[in-house]
Chains A and B, each alone.
Chain A
Amino acid sequence: MPRHRDKLSCKTNQRNGAFTEMTKPEHLRIETSPPVSDEIRKTTCYMCACRCGINVHMKDGQVAYIEGNRDHPVNNGVLCGKGSAGIMQHYAPSRLRAPLKRVGPRGSGEFEEISWDEALEIAAGWLAPLRQTDPSRMAFFTGRDQSQSFTSWFAQAYGTPNYAAHGGFCSVNMAAAGIYTMGGAFWEFGQPDWDRTKLFMLFGVAEDHDSNPIKIGLGKLKERGVRVIGVNPIRSGYNAIADEWVGITPGTDGLFILALVHELLRAGKVDLGYLSRYTNAGFIVNEEPNSPEKGLFLRGENGKPQVICRATGQLADYDRPDVMPNLAASYHDAGQAHRTVFQLLAERYLSDDYAPDRVAERTGISADRIKSIAAELARVAFEEEIVLDQPWTDWKGQTHDKMIGRPVSFHAMRGISAHSNGFQTCRALHLLQILLGSVEVPGGFRFKPPYPKPPEAHPKPHAGVTPGQPLDGPHLGYPMGPEHLLLDGDGRPKRIDKAFTWENPMSAHGLMHMVISNAHAGDPYKIDTLFMYMANMAWNSSMNSSEVIRMLTDTDDAGDYVIPHIIYSDAYSSEMVAYADLILPDTTYLERHDCISLLDRPICEADAAADAIRWPVVEPDRDVRGFQTVLIQLGAKLGLPGFVTDDGSPKFRDYADYMVNHERRPGVGPLAGWRGTDGEGRGRGEPNPSQIDRYIENGGFWIDHIPDEARFYKPWNKAYQEWAVDRGIFDAEAPYVFNLYVEPMRKFQLAAEGHGDIQPPDHLRARIAETMDPLPIWYPPFEDQSVDPDEYPIHALTQRPMHMYHSWGSQNAWLRQITGKNALYLPTDIWIEHGFKDGDFATVTSAHGSITVPVAHHAALNPQTVWTWNAIGKRKGAWALDKDAPEATEGFLLNHLIHELLPPKGDGLRWANSDPVTGQAAWFDLRVKIEKAEPKPAESQPAHPPIASPVGQGPNVVARKI
């Protein structure tokens, strides 16, 4: 490299002596090629649910540095703020050290460290007798679980009906609406076609599970200058870079979307060919008034829904190869006309109720803006059509020489799903996508294997309990009518969380947020042991945290805890740890085997099937065990079927052994890659003893690309269906059409109208009739109906910070410096109206409670909305933080304002603060009022007393270089 004045200054230096010599930059020898590390070990990140590939750089046997794995399908080498800070999570002082037995009262945080033998002995001592008498008295709920196919298998083998993960309080509306409508939703189910889309619309997302793929995707759109429309009351994060910001009033997205539908229909800007071929738009709906079949499809002899064939004008099975349905036709029978789904749909949404001018005020979006967005969607979808020169063959055997794409795409998450009208709103969005013909086409939204998978192909929920025996089937699933509800002979819920009951018939993910309150109330029954994993239920993942804390510590007349035993697995000293009796300390994500399986929520891409593992890149330096291995050991100790061999000895050594050798169906196991003794099997094949080594060699993941002709139109693409069967994704080809009209919902409505044997209780009839509409509807969020909007005029929301994962981030010395406290952000009008200044506190009151918290000004907000970061507030004493940590003194949770039940309405009932279809917790329905807090308190309120730390406190300085 040429250097200026190199020689000259060199000479000068020699003259001037060593003193200046050393200080001349030209003479500095800095090491520009230092060794980076001794070794790279490739595994999978677990700082959130996105599951990116990571390169863990090791020095002297220690973790030195973590970067993204460039070859990994999820993240292509990039990492988010959390991922790169994983090292500080691994070395966090809050890590548990050994199994703990509670010695002080619940909630005190006083524990004694015990051995694993003792811990397993205690757990088995509680669980074994319950299994022999009444397995339902054990409830096993797992939070941020990435091994649900395994944990549910354990629960099923144990025989309790009470199992679910966190989906019920998370985003089941999104998942269920997607499955029922089109066989898959957003996030794990599919993704926008980032490389081809020409208009992208994002609803209610701050971060989402698909963290890095969304960011990578947005980056691609920005590079191509593609317009991004963000629909969100708050303009931050992704919405900050959106070209158009639609600052919608919370809870009104359904109305806005249906107004877009109104505009598109009115102008005939819908893809009629697509609707005819790939949806139930042409199905004939029974319109006979008072018929017990009213609203169901007319069916042929073989039970197949009927359409009117355009060529013949006659009824025909919808899936006959030569039939193209006539959407405009009606079928006349005995003086009654029966029309197609499409006509019912057009009739409904062409109504003035959905005209932009009608919805503008309620949604906070001007009619002109709505019309303009609708027009832009239509323009891009139909005038910027994409054509790929890729022949393909459809399920009816017809070949097409091209793939036609409508390059508008959508993504949405909890902003629309975490409302009590969320299921229907998510349905409305899918309706919009489908009307535009933009699902599973180039430039649109694409499924990731194992999706698409229609509701019929999913299991039905089971709750058949026999003491000492496994449950009669999988716990969770997709009910197709009242016959699939989990009610006993007296109509009482079979599950502790009341999933799959008339209160929330399609609660496909269970209702984890109801477990503690139901168990405490003994409604529907009392339980003995609550077994939880990876869920901070005593704090940020519960509604009304203070009340949940009370329930966990409440005692009966005899002085015993109302919930007698609580077993909990965490890796860190979280708030929840203090409320359990027995703690099973987990390893960190760098110390254990994990399996991100096709049986569960894999890491697939639209163009490929993929799964991944974690493996111990370092051994634990303390007495902790991977939770899955602990379940393997516990299962064996309890002698659960599948966990023991015929002679009763443990079937699996540990989780790694299970990952390799367990078979769910013959030849299909947790890991799809390198199956068979030759390691050539993809998806199918007998167990391969060196399978994990092959994963490690390959960077911790396996990927298998979908053939070109199978990449789009997956539900109807013959090549895809064949490929999926070949890979073990399903056992038989299962083409299907999208459900614009969800017939199973109509079955629940019919019951509410009095038809059928299985009848809802009277107090729920009207609500079921209204909310189980088979075509998307909008109704105001329940909280709007049960509290006075004039008294509580303001919507209060939370958002996830991109650099924090729920409660975990605060124990991370780097991340907590970025956000160690939170403020409530107020829009300009409210800020000015109350005369707030920086540093002020506000008292925020909902119908259930009140908090006093710091405020800050944020102008880019819907004028009726306030918000804060989620889960920054911490309980004093938790997470090995100082009790005066800002997280505890200033940080706060909105959860204290949210109740799992709505306020009493005077009808003697307490209605759940949940979606009536799925039971999804309605976090974002919250309404509040705000006052300036004067004088301002010393700390955010409520301030709970500190809990004792079972792990002590962190060091005073960190400056760690290996």
Chain B
Amino acid sequence: MTALPDKTDKKLGLVIDLDTCVGCHGCVTACKGWNTQHYGAPLSDTDPYGADPGGTFLNRVFSYEAQAEGRPAQTIHMPRSCLHCDDAPCVTVCPTGASYKRAEDGIVLVNEDRCIGCGLCAWACPYGARELDREAGIMKKCTLCVDRIYNENLPEEDRVPACVRTCPAGARHFGDLGDPDSDVSKLVAKRGGYDLMPDLGTKPVNKYLPPRPKDTLDTAPLTAVADEPKGFLGWLDKALEKL
């Protein structure tokens, strides 16, 4: 049933640091690579070498620019994937029960054996996190790498999502956001992590860390050791003495 669990034991999710993400798309292809080989149908690409290619990705990196009056413009890279919302509208709209949120860890998944590919869940998601795979006709979304994070065939340290494992800049963090003592929760508290579009009431689990303030350098200018070049030589002499 597509009712949401009243509460989940854990709130597993991602914390993405917008002050650190360089927009390299590493997480994009790592995600595509893992999820093509694992959970459910492969993520397909249509017309892959043609004039109008398209394909399914569970994670895409956008770039924005922000400019305040009289300030230099800023560029921000923002990866977006499913936020594993607590109050996930994509789940409740699903007519088949294919979309569901796991009570044990809060991961929102699509049961591909039930999905009819109606697309309604994608309409209901504010974040563009769901993509209908054109080849399989099935709704695809970030699985939070549910088949990695508990995978006993992987060494302990590798039991993290593929995108987190690969991020070269370390801009992606994974953990239990329901536990205030977890590293991710502490990071969110320290850096003012925020929700995307909180007004919509989806209660996203994933958090974004805002860019730190930019272009603030204001060190006072250096003072000269002497007023004229000759004086410089005098200073040099004295300074060398002290060595």
Measuring CB to CB, which residues of chain A are less than 8 angstroms from any residue of chain B? 1-5, 9, 20, 22-26, 28, 30-36, 57, 59, 64-68, 70, 75, 77-85, 87, 93, 211-212, 215-216, 218-220, 222-223, 225, 227, 229, 235-245, 247, 263-269, 272-273, 276, 310, 324, 326-328, 342-343, 346-347, 350, 368-369, 371-376, 378-379, 802-803, 811, 813-818, 820, 828, 858-861, 880-882, 884-886, 889, 953-962
Cβ-defined contact, A375 with B220, below 8 A: yes
Does B153 contact A35, Cβ atoms closer than 8 Å? yes
Contact between B235 and A222, CB atoms less than 8 A apart: no
Q: Is B150 an interface residue (CB 8 A)?
A: yes
Decide: A235 and B50 in contact? CB cutoff 8 A: no
Q: Which residues of B contact A958 (CB under 8 A)?
A: 44-45, 48, 55
Given contacts A25-B100, A882-B50, contact A34 B147 (CB under 8 A): yes
Q: Is B73 an interface residue (CB 8 A)?
A: yes
Provide 14 A-B residue pairs closer than 8 Å at the C-beta atoms, listed in order of the A residue: A23-B98, A67-B33, A78-B166, A216-B169, A219-B168, A223-B170, A241-B20, A802-B22, A814-B32, A817-B53, A820-B53, A860-B74, A880-B49, A956-B48
A802 touches B150 (CB 8 A): no
B109–A30 CB distance below 8 A:
yes
Bound form: Cα–Cα A880–B21 in Å: 33
Partner of A371, one of B158, B222, B232: B222
Complex contact A816–B74 (CB within 8 A)? no
A803 to chain B, nearest CB (A): 4
Q: Which 4 A-B pairs have the closest CB atoms?
A: A954-B49, A23-B97, A267-B222, A25-B100
Of chain A, the residue at the smallest CB distance from B215 is A244
Counting chain A CB atoms within 10 Å of each CB, which of B20, B21, B26, B216 scores highest? B26
Q: What is the distance, in angstroms, from A733's C-beta to the closest C-beta of chain B?
A: 26
Q: Is the CB of A65 within 8 A of B46?
A: no
Q: Select the residue from A23, A26, A28 with max chain B CB neighbours within 10 A.
A: A23
A28-B100, A215-B24 are contacts. A1–B46 as well, Cβ < 8 Å?
A: no
Contact of B42 among A66, A212, A218, A959 (CB under 8 A): A959
> Is B92 at the interface (CB under 8 A from chain A)?
no
B24 touches A70 (CB 8 A): no
Contacts A30-B146, A87-B33, A955-B49 supplied; 15 other A-B pairs, CB < 8 Å: A4-B7, A20-B97, A23-B98, A23-B111, A25-B102, A67-B34, A219-B168, A240-B63, A324-B243, A817-B53, A817-B57, A818-B25, A860-B74, A882-B51, A884-B51
Q: Is the pair A84, B235 in contact by a Cβ cutoff of 8 Å? A: no
Is the CB–CB distance between A4 and B24 below 8 Å? no
Chain A residues, CB < 8 A from B20: 218-219, 222-223, 241
Interface-located stretch among B124-132, B177-185, B194-202, B223-231 = B223-231
Interface centre among A239, A816, A880 (most CB of B within 10 A): A816
Tell me the dominant secondary structure on chain A's binding face.
mixed
Given the complex of chains A and B, what is the CA–CA distance between A212 and B212 in angstroms?
23
Candidate in A67, A82, A216, A342 with the most chain B CB atoms within 10 angstroms: A67
* Contact B147 A32, beta carbon cutoff 8 Å: yes
Q: How far is the CB of B208 from chain A (nearest CB, A)?
A: 14
B19 within 8 Å of A (CB atoms): yes
Residues from chain A with a CB closer than 8 A to the CB of B47 are 882, 956-957
**C-alpha gap A688/B146 in the complex (Å):** 45
Quick one: given A75-B168, A222-B20, A236-B63, are A34 and B151 in contact (CB under 8 Å)? yes
**Closest chain B residue to A34 by CB distance?**
B147
A919 to chain B, nearest CB (A): 32
In the assembled complex, the Cα of A64 lies from the Cα of B42 at a distance in Å of: 12
Closest to A339 in B: B233
**Given the contacts A240-B75, A241-B22, A219 and B171 also touching, CB distance less than 8 Å:** yes
Interface residues of B (CB under 8 A from A): 1, 5-7, 9, 17, 19-26, 28-30, 32-34, 36-39, 41-51, 53-55, 57, 63, 65, 67, 72-77, 96-98, 100-104, 109, 111, 114, 135-136, 146-147, 149-154, 157-158, 162, 165-171, 211-212, 214-225, 229, 232-233, 235-237, 239-240, 243
Query: Which of A9, A35, A222, A378 interacts with B222 by CB under 8 Å?
Result: A378
B146 is contacted by which of A32, A87, A818, A886 (Cβ under 8 Å)? Answer: A32
Judge whether B243 and A959 touch: CB under 8 Å. no
Known: A235-B74, A376-B219. A81 touches B33 (CB 8 A): no
- Most chain A Cβ neighbours within 10 Å, of B41, B152, B153: B153
With a cutoff of 8 Å between Cβ atoms, the chain B residues found around residue A342 in the complex are 236
Using CB atoms, name the residue of chain B closest to A2.
B9
Q: Are B224 and A266 in contact (CB under 8 A)?
A: yes
Residue from the list B9, B34, B54, B152 in contact with A817, Cβ < 8 A: B54
If A4-B6, A350-B229 touch, whether A84 touches B29 (CB-CB below 8 Å) is yes
Establish whether residues A266 and B225, one from each chain, have CB atoms under 8 Å apart when the complex forms: yes
Residues of B within 8 A of A81 (CB): 24-26, 28-29
Are B168 and A79 touching (Cβ within 8 A)? yes
A93 CB contact (under 8 Å) in B49, B77, B97, B223: B49
| Shortest CB distance A529–B (Å) | 33
Cross-chain contact of A1 among B75, B104, B215, B233 (Cβ < 8 A): B104
CB <8 Å contact, B76 and A959: no
Chain A residue nearest to B34 (CB atoms) is: A65
Residues of A within 8 A of B55 (CB): 813-814, 817, 958
Bound-state Cα–Cα, A685 to B216, Å: 55
Q: Which residues of B contact A215 (CB under 8 A)?
A: 22, 24, 168-169
Known contacts A3-B103, A346-B236, A267 near B223 by CB under 8 Å: yes
Pick the contact of B169 from A1, A66, A218, A378 — CB < 8 Å?
Answer: A218
Q: Are A244 and B214 in contact (CB under 8 A)?
A: yes
Q: Is the CB of B166 within 8 A of A815?
A: no
Q: Which residue of A lies closest to B20 (CB)?
A: A222
Tell me which residues across on chain A come within 8 A of B101, comparing CB atoms: 25
B52: nearest residue on chain A (CB-CB)? A886
A380 and B97 alpha carbons, distance in the complex (Å)? 59
Q: With A25-B103, A84-B33, A236-B63 as given contacts, are A33 and B147 in contact (CB-CB < 8 Å)?
A: yes
A268 to B240, CA, bound (A): 11
* Chain A minimum-CB-distance residue to B217: A244
A71 to B148, CA, bound (A): 19
CB pair A803 B24 closer than 8 Å: yes
- CB-contact partner of B22 in A3, A9, A225, A238, under 8 A: A238
CB distance from A157 to the nearest CB of B (A): 40
User: Who on chain B is nearest to A87 by CB?
Assistant: B33
Whether the pair A240, B23 counts as a contact (CB closer than 8 A) is: yes
Which residue of A227, A347, A379 contacts B229 across the interface (Cβ within 8 Å)? Answer: A347
What's the minimum C-beta distance from A54 to chain B, rounded to whole angstroms? 11
Q: Known: A240-B76, A374-B222. Contact between A67 and B217, CB under 8 A?
A: no
**Cβ A84 vs Cβ B1 within 8 A:** no
Chain B residues positioned under 8 Å from A860 (CB to CB): 65, 67, 72-75
A813 in contact with B53 (CB, 8 Å): yes
On whether the beta carbons of B63 and A268 are closer than 8 Å, the reply is no
Question: What residues of B have a CB within 8 angstroms of the CB of A83 in the complex?
Answer: 26
A36 touches B23 (CB 8 A): no
Q: How far is the CA of A378 from the CA of B21 in the complex (A)?
A: 29
On whether the beta carbons of A245 and B214 are closer than 8 Å, the reply is yes
Is B29 in contact with A85, judged by CB distance below 8 angstroms?
A: yes
B135 touches A957 (CB 8 A): yes
A814 touches B9 (CB 8 A): no
